Structure 1
Amino acid sequence: MNIKRYGSVAAVALAGTIVLSSCAANEAPANTGTDSTNGGGAPASELEGNLSGIGSSAVGAAQEAWIAEFQDKNPGVTINYAAEGSGAGREAFLAGAANANFAGSDRAFNDEEVAAGGWGACASDEIVELPLYISPIAVVFNLEGIETLNMDAATIAGIFNGDITTWDDEAIASQNEDADLPDTAITPVHRSDDSGTTENFTDYLFQAAPDVWTHEPDGLWPIEGGEAADGTSGVIDAVSNASGTIAYADASRAGDLGTVAVEINGEYLEFSPEAAAAIVDASPRAEGRSAGDLAYELDRTPDEAAYPIALVAYLIGCQDYSDDAVGELVKAYFSYMASEEGQQTAAESAGSAPISDAVRTEVESAIESIS
């Protein structure tokens, strides 16, 4: 079988829970009517105020870059983002918490949550969910001298289900005849927090290996056993510090760890932003959503060469904010993140895949409805 290689993303150092802000926003010179950071001679930004977001740790590296660029262009604005996990983001946004003017989540709100509504910061039950961060989820491992391994979905599911317990198991060895596999015990590592990354990973296992992985997709790890770690950083630390470990994490954090090439239609596909974006292009939109709610139903068993373990992180906001000033800031910040410049900034800093022009058109229409 062949291995298709797409190249890997750069590692990004990031704390498990972060608050991102820019000193420049607090040290900017008085508004002189022009702003050299906006091209020299262009009108200075008149935006002012504070904006807070919370949620996905996978999107934290992109948020760090987005915030720096946006505040540079808008020195009167300060933005904080707490990367405490997708579940924390959705919960805080629903409750209308002070630190949740917007949320980042590695999954959209589900049909039941959308139907229930009751968004604390919103003046209506309409929300916008924008797919502004597309990234592969890497299956990472720590085995001395081994940089990559081939695995099909059933093998990956068997490992995380606790059925395959040593690295020299025939299920792994038969797909990696040239690898010198040790008889070391496998220690699967999973997220301890409510995680959109977990939900995307278990959705892949459920769709691609239903005979092995019988658990419904969930943001909370559904079975006992293995090792639990908090947040993306916690998972990466756990794998980095112990031989024989294996886990799933946003690919931007894979660093020097070994990674798995995933079997798709008889070929083994390594992760890349481009291959992850292909799975989104091959997937349908969720039905029954409002025009501004751009949720996707990802197809994890594509006919084409698309990397199936991918996440789409949504930036979530109100369509109608109770505080108009907050609505204005969210609208401006979401517009920047969705722009070609914003998407390229995320790609360069976090290895994500820029959204397509077709998706951007829909996203811009949704952002225009925010008030």
Structure 2
Amino acid sequence: MNRTSFRAALVPGAAALALSISLTACGASNESTESGSDAGSSTETGSLSGELNGAGSSAQEKAMEAWSTGFQGLNPDVTLNYNPLGSGDGRTQFIEGGTLFAGTDSYFSDDEGELSKANERCGSDVIEVPSYVSPIAVMFNLEGVDALNMDSDTIAKIFDQKITKWNDPAIADQNPDVELPDTDITTVHRQDDSGTTKNFTDYLGKASDSWSYEAEDAFPVKGGVAAEGTSGVVAAVTNGNGTIGYADESQVGDLSVVSVKVGDEYVAPSAESAAKVVAVSPAVEGRPEVDMAVDVDRTTEEAGSYPVILLSYLVACQTYPSADEADLVKGFLEYVVSDEGQQAAADNAGSAPLDADTASRAQGIVEAISAE
């Protein structure tokens, strides 16, 4: 039994959300001597050592726990430090050279030169590979109500402070069998810059005519309760009555969730319904081969699909100054996009494993990571 550690990376200047979780991997060191059987990896099990620092998405937190356990179990001389301080700050830390990799729930945009800065940091096109597909749950805590149906316009108006009572006709008409109280609605949103927020507002902007804001990492509407990180939003909704918020579905616990209208049906968040959306979504135009950014189709009417999702990425450079750094990043990313790594995340976080074609392309990209 190997004792492994999953700690917050103490990156200089980061207003970090502290995470200190001790994980135990039993029997992991007895796995096959090559990780390539699942991932196409050439990294020999147990050959890596050192400290690998990353930061970013808090939505990936549960998946990162599983990846840390599995990767460190195969490489007991490696310490993986990941700080779940949010996607925006994670991308910033990566650009500034404070970490070797980052997790982000929204791909690099060049609206403010962010993509160019990442490429400059790396000295070549930055790598962005999908690592984690998960629904964003619209979760709520309302005494006596266990589940609700809503269309995109209703959700948009709630988070835009235009629907303020739970028994509003817009909600009641879609839930005729539910007795809704005359309770004030309290919305809860992320305080920090968040890829989850960007994905959620992207859905509202594309699927609803009632949302007039751009997709942004910072929540654009004043009012409601602001909370730090995924765990902060979940806690704020849990501790209130009449509260509603949004978070990675894997972390909502026992909170009630909204089934979202897609076509003529209402679809609950699940790994399967999230995966269906990714399958019908196009790649971002004009990106290099090592950048697998996807424009999620928020308006799909594909049966059984759930378009309020986040498609989370791991970010890295194609080359690093030293072979030790390159081998650590390569080895970890190879594990994440392997069948084993994707199944570990699915088991621990309820995410949807990458489809075979996407995983194969991602594996080919990360296998090429090398020293300068």
Q: What TM-score do the two structures reach when normalised by structure 2? A: 0.88
Q: What is the deviation of 1:175? A: 0.3
Q: Deviations over 1:313-354 (max 9, x none)?
A: 100001111232111111011001101111000000000000
**Does residue 270 in structure 1 map to residue 263 in structure 2?**
no
- Cα distance in 1, alignment partners of residues 17 and 62 from structure 2: 11
**Does residue 117 in structure 1 map to residue 117 in structure 2?**
yes
- Cα distance in 2, alignment partners of residues 37 and 368 from structure 1: 23
SS at match of 1:111: coil
Give the fraction of aligned pairs with identical amino acids, expressed as a percent: 48
**Aligned twin of 2:3:** none
Q: Deviations over 1:268-289 (max 9, x none)?
A: 0001001101111110000111
Of stretches 129-138 and 15-24 in structure 1, the one that deviates more from structure 2 is 15-24
SS at match of 2:244: strand
Contact 2:145 2:178 (8 Å CA) reproduced: yes
Contact 1:19 1:81 (8 Å CA) reproduced: no
**Aligned twin of 2:277:** 279
Q: What TM-score do the two structures reach when normalised by structure 1? A: 0.89
Contact 1:20 1:80 (8 Å CA) reproduced: no
Write out the 4+ residue segments of structure 1 that deviate beyond 6 Å after TM superposition. 40-43
Contact 2:118 2:126 (8 Å CA) reproduced: no
Contact 1:95 1:119 (8 Å CA) reproduced: no
Q: Deviations over 1:143-192 (max 9, x none)?
A: 11211100000000000001100000000000000101000000011000
Alignment of structure 1 residues 54-65 onto 2, 5 Å:
54-65=55-66
> Match for 2:52: what amino acid?
L
Contact 2:108 2:115 (8 Å CA) reproduced: no
SS at match of 2:319: coil
Contact 1:19 1:83 (8 Å CA) reproduced: no
Contact 1:16 1:232 (8 Å CA) reproduced: no
Distance 1:339 1:44, change over 3 A: closer
SS at match of 1:81: strand
Alignment of structure 1 residues 197-236 onto 2, 5 Å:
197-209=196-208, 211-236=209-234
Alignment of structure 1 residues 70-219 onto 2, 5 Å:
70-97=71-98, 100-112=99-111, 113=113, 115-118=115-118, 122=122, 124-209=123-208, 211-219=209-217
Contact 1:20 1:79 (8 Å CA) reproduced: no
Distance 1:36 1:327, change over 3 A: closer
Contact 1:20 1:67 (8 Å CA) reproduced: no
- Cα distance in 2, alignment partners of residues 256 and 22 from structure 1: 24
Q: What is the deviation of 1:39? A: 4.2
Contact 1:53 1:104 (8 Å CA) reproduced: yes
Distance 1:39 1:220, change over 3 A: same
- Cα distance in 2, alignment partners of residues 187 and 224 from structure 1: 12
Q: Deviations over 1:201-245 (max 9, x none)?
A: 000000001x21010100101121111000000000000000000
- Cα distance in 2, alignment partners of residues 238 and 73 from structure 1: 38
**Aligned twin of 2:12:** none
Contact 1:16 1:231 (8 Å CA) reproduced: yes
Q: What is the deviation of 1:369? A: 2.2
Q: What is the deviation of 1:117? A: 2.9
- Cα distance in 1, alignment partners of residues 341 and 290 from structure 2: 20
Contact 1:128 1:318 (8 Å CA) reproduced: yes
- Cα distance in 2, alignment partners of residues 288 and 41 from structure 1: 36
**Does residue 310 in structure 1 map to residue 309 in structure 2?**
yes
> Match for 1:85: what amino acid?
G
Alignment of structure 1 residues 338-349 onto 2, 5 Å:
338-349=337-348
- Cα distance in 1, alignment partners of residues 20 and 107 from structure 2: 23
SS at match of 1:216: coil
- Cα distance in 2, alignment partners of residues 192 and 239 from structure 1: 14
Contact 1:198 1:219 (8 Å CA) reproduced: yes
Distance 1:41 1:150, change over 3 A: closer
> Match for 2:337: what amino acid?
A
- Cα distance in 2, alignment partners of residues 290 and 346 from structure 1: 27
Q: Deviations over 1:2-40 (max 9, x none)?
A: xxxxxxxxxxxx99532556688xxx9xxxxxx952248
> Match for 2:230: what amino acid?
T
> Match for 1:50: what amino acid?
E
Alignment of structure 1 residues 314-329 onto 2, 5 Å:
314-329=313-328
Q: What is the deviation of 1:111? A: 3.4
- Cα distance in 1, alignment partners of residues 261 and 148 from structure 2: 11
Q: What is the deviation of 1:81? A: 0.6
User: Gaps spanning 5+ residues in structure 2: where?
Assistant: 1-7, 9-15, 36-43
Q: What is the deviation of 1:93? A: 0.2
Of stretches 132-141 and 318-327 in structure 1, the one that deviates more from structure 2 is 318-327
SS at match of 1:64: helix
Contact 1:95 1:120 (8 Å CA) reproduced: no
> Match for 1:231: what amino acid?
G
> Match for 1:81: what amino acid?
Y
User: Paired residue for 1:37, among 20, 30, 41?
Assistant: 30
Q: What is the deviation of 1:263? A: 0.2
> Match for 1:221: what amino acid?
F
> Match for 2:75: what amino acid?
N
User: Bigger relative contact order, structure 1 or 2, given CA contacts below 8 A and separation 6+?
Assistant: 1
> Match for 2:50: what amino acid?
G
Aligned residues: 346
Distance 1:304 1:189, change over 3 A: same
**Aligned twin of 2:357:** 358
**Aligned twin of 1:334:** 333
Q: What is the deviation of 1:116? A: 1.9
